[in-house]
């Protein structure tokens, strides 16, 4: 009866179907909502992973640039302030006298340290110096070129002078230095026969300075002591001017703090006319590694830097430790008024140019040096240009390129030829970081407008 009743009851099956329909719809609604939630979380997770991966890639790229290269990544234009493309090629004669063509790839560097546009010059390689030199010093007297001291590397310094004869293009002599004389970071000047050497660093690495000063008679090769400098200085700007030996700037005893002191001493024929240095008007900006030139009754101080490497605290060998440096292109001049005047700056900041200059046709020619640090890696950048300062107009020009970028060049001029020798050169056409200390000697025929 029950089965018959259920079969004949039209309302019971309808209610069952309705209930089943609602259960199906509710299940489908819940399934749809769950699917939407799952899809939302999947999309969110995918998006989060993409953001994290992109940040990681950017971080990795920046980290790579900071430790593995000095060059602007062409895929990261945010680092490129300005692009300068300069083909690197020069005609060079090797030691056998044959001309060698060297072509390098174009240089793409940030404008803060890029090579400046300049003509390519043809350079001829001469006999190399007997030893390689970094932070060496030089004086030219007529056709004779005296190359002083300097580092072979940080753990070895030279204590002699090598002599080059421009008239025959040969290294012809060697002169021993006094035992007490500094080995690098000297002050140096000449009156055409006598050479005056002032203060500087005594020893290897970042050793301490000395106040000891000397004169050398190039005719007799005899040395004489001079009154010691009032305080030791590293690489002070030094020059003979109006019968007095002027010494100014440089770094103080810790090798890093810029000095602004300016002293002078009356000298004649390698002798002192007084026993004490005289205080003079301080230079407006201190620091080492500057060119100092006396010409036309005026005294010029060009380029330089503030700060330098220091000895690592507690190091028994005075091991060099990197410190912050600021390279500048400032130009200062003294004249009869004995007041410093500010002149137009160099085309780019330039340091390590103490003996990188010559005077030709009423102009100052400067070769190589160091410029501002790389903005990302903070590494030292070398200079490969040749600059001309016109003494009549007080204006600068970029007139040529060296065979490679190089600092602490020792520069001379003879019979129309511009020479340079020694220094620390770059790592290659596309890497202006310093690397190898060299003793190579080069020359090029100088044509000035």
Q: What is the CATH number of the domain that holds 440?
A: 2.120.10.80
49 band by pLDDT with thresholds 50, 70 and 90:
low
Strands 357-360 and 305-306: unpaired
Query: Edge-to-edge strands of the sheet including 298-302?
Result: 291-295, 298-302, 331-334, 341-343
Residues 94 and 100: beta-carbon distance below 8 Å: yes
Q: Is 326 contained in some domain?
A: yes
pLDDT in tens, 246-260: 999 999 999 999 999
Reduced to 3 states, what is the DSSP secondary structure of residue 437? strand
Q: If you search the block for the tokens 């007139």, which residue do you land on?
A: 399
pLDDT value, residue 375: 82
Question: How confident is the model over 64-85, as a mean pLDDT?
Answer: 27
Query: Quick one: tokens of 32?
Result: 């749809």
- Tell me which of 250 and 103 has the higher pLDDT: 250
Residues 206 and 251: beta-carbon distance below 8 Å: no
Handedness of CA 231, 234, 237, 242 (dihedral sign): positive
pLDDT value, residue 417: 98
Q: Is the pLDDT of residue 320 over 50?
A: yes
47 band by pLDDT with thresholds 50, 70 and 90:
low
Residues 250 and 232: beta-carbon distance below 8 Å: no
pLDDT value, residue 122: 97
Classify each residue of 2-39 as buried b or exposed e, where b means 16 or more C-beta atoms within 10 Å of its C-beta: eeeeeeeeeeeeeeeeeeeeeeeeeeeeeeeeeeeeee
- Mean pLDDT of all residues belonging to the chain: 83
- Tell me which of 136 and 67 has the higher pLDDT: 136
Q: Is 432 contained in some domain?
A: yes
pLDDT value, residue 51: 54
Q: What is the DSSP string of 332-393?
A: EEE-TT---EEEPPPSS--BS-TT-EEEETTEEEEEEEEEPPPTTT---EEEEEEEEEETTT
Q: If you search the block for the tokens 């953001």, which residue do you land on?
A: 51
User: Using CA atoms, how far apart are residues 39 and 47, in angstroms rounded to an integer?
Assistant: 12
Which own/partner pairs from 172-175 qualify as long-range (CB within 8 Å, at least 24 positions apart)? 174/130, 175/146, 175/216, 175/221
Question: How confident is the model over 222-241, as a mean pLDDT?
Answer: 98
Number of domains, the chain: 1
Question: How confident is the model over 284-304, as a mean pLDDT?
Answer: 97
Question: How confident is the model over 130-150, as a mean pLDDT?
Answer: 98
Q: Which domain holds residue 89?
A: 84-445
374 band by pLDDT with thresholds 50, 70 and 90:
confident
Q: Is 288 contained in some domain?
A: yes
Q: Is the pLDDT of residue 144 over 60?
A: yes
Reduced to 3 states, what is the DSSP secondary structure of residue 178? coil
Q: Is 266 contained in some domain?
A: yes
Q: Is 72 contained in some domain?
A: no
Q: Is the pLDDT of residue 68 over 80?
A: no
Q: Is 41 contained in some domain?
A: no
The rounded percent of the chain whose pLDDT value lies above 70 is 75
User: Using CA atoms, how far apart are residues 214 and 195, in angstroms rounded to an integer?
Assistant: 8
Which are the contacts of 328, defined by CB distance < 8 A and separation ≥ 6? Answer: 285, 287, 303, 304, 305, 306, 345, 349, 351
376 band by pLDDT with thresholds 50, 70 and 90:
confident
Reduced to 3 states, what is the DSSP secondary structure of residue 40? helix
User: Using CA atoms, how far apart are residues 185 and 155, in angstroms rounded to an integer?
Assistant: 15
Q: Is 53 contained in some domain?
A: no
pLDDT value, residue 114: 81
19 band by pLDDT with thresholds 50, 70 and 90:
very low
CB atoms within 10 A of CB 105: 11
Q: Is the pLDDT of residue 23 over 90?
A: no
- Minimum mean pLDDT among 83-97, 217-231, 329-343: which range? 83-97
Q: Is the pLDDT of residue 66 over 70?
A: no
Question: How confident is the model over 341-353, as a mean pLDDT?
Answer: 98
Q: If you search the block for the tokens 């190359």, which residue do you land on?
A: 147
Ramachandran quadrant class, 91 (left: phi over 0; alpha: psi -120 to 50; beta: rest): beta
Q: Is the pLDDT of residue 1 over 90?
A: no
Question: How many helices and strands in the chain, by DSSP H and E?
Answer: 2, 34
pLDDT in tens, 384-431: 999 999 999 999 999 999 999 999 999 999 999 999 999 999 999 989
137 band by pLDDT with thresholds 50, 70 and 90:
very high
pLDDT value, residue 226: 98
Single out the residue of 171, 62, 81 nearest to residue 127, CA to CA: 171
Reduced to 3 states, what is the DSSP secondary structure of residue 161? strand
Question: What is the pTM (predicted TM-score) of this model?
Answer: 0.77
Q: Is 31 contained in some domain?
A: no
Q: If you search the block for the tokens 């056409």, which residue do you land on?
A: 429
User: Using CA atoms, how far apart are residues 106 and 444, in angstroms rounded to an integer?
Assistant: 23
pLDDT in tens, 162-216: 999 999 999 999 999 999 999 999 999 999 999 999 999 999 999 999 999 999 9
Single out the residue of 107, 103, 71, 74 nearest to residue 90, CA to CA: 103
């Amino acid at each position: 009866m029950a089965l018959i009743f259920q079969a004949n009851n039209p309302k019971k099956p309808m209610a069952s179907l309705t209930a089943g329909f609602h259960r199906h719809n509710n299940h489908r609604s819940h399934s749809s909502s769950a699917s939407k939630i799952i899809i939302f979380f999947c999309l969110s997770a995918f998006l989060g992973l993409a953001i994290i991966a992109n940040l990681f890639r950017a971080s990795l790229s920046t980290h790579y640039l900071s430790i593995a290269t000095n060059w602007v990544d062409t895929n990261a234009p945010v680092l490129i302030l300005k692009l300068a493309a300069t083909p690197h090629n020069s005609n060079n004669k090797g030691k056998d006298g044959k001309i060698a063509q060297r072509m390098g790839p174009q240089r793409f560097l940030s404008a803060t340290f890029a090579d400046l546009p300049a003509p390519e010059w043809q350079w001829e390689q001469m006999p190399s110096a007997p030893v390689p030199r970094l932070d060496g010093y030089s004086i030219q007297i007529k056709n004779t070129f005296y190359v002083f001291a300097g580092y072979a590397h940080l753990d070895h310094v030279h204590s002699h002078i090598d002599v080059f004869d421009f008239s025959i293009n040969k290294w012809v002599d060697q002169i021993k230095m006094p035992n007490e004389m500094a080995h690098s970071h000297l002050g140096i000047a000449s009156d055409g026969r006598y050479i005056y050497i002032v203060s500087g660093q005594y020893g290897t690495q970042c050793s301490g300075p000395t106040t000891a000063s000397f004169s050398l008679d190039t005719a007799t090769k005899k040395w004489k002591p001079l009154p010691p400098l009032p305080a030791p200085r590293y690489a002070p700007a030094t020059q003979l001017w109006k019968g007095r030996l002027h010494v100014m700037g440089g770094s103080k005893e810790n090798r890093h703090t810029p000095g602004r002191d300016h002293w002078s001493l009356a000298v004649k024929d390698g002798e002192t006319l007084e026993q004490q240095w005289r205080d003079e008007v301080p230079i407006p900006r201190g620091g080492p590694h500057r060119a100092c030139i006396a010409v036309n009754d005026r005294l010029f101080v060009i380029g330089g830097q503030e700060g330098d490497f220091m000895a690592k605290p507690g190091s028994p060998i005075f091991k060099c430790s990197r410190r912050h440096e600021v390279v500048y292109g400032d130009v200062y001049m003294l004249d009869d008024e004995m007041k410093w005047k500010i002149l137009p700056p160099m085309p780019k900041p330039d340091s390590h140019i103490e003996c990188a200059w010559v005077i030709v046709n009423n102009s100052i020619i400067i070769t190589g040096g160091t410029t501002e640090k790389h903005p990302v890696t903070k590494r030292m950048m070398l200079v490969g240009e040749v600059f001309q300062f016109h003494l009549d107009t007080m204006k600068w020009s970029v007139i040529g390129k060296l065979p490679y970028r190089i600092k602490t060049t020792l520069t001379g001029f003879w019979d129309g030829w511009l020479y340079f020798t020694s220094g620390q050169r770059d790592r290659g056409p596309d890497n202006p970081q310093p690397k190898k200390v060299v003793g190579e000697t080069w020359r090029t025929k100088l044509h000035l407008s």
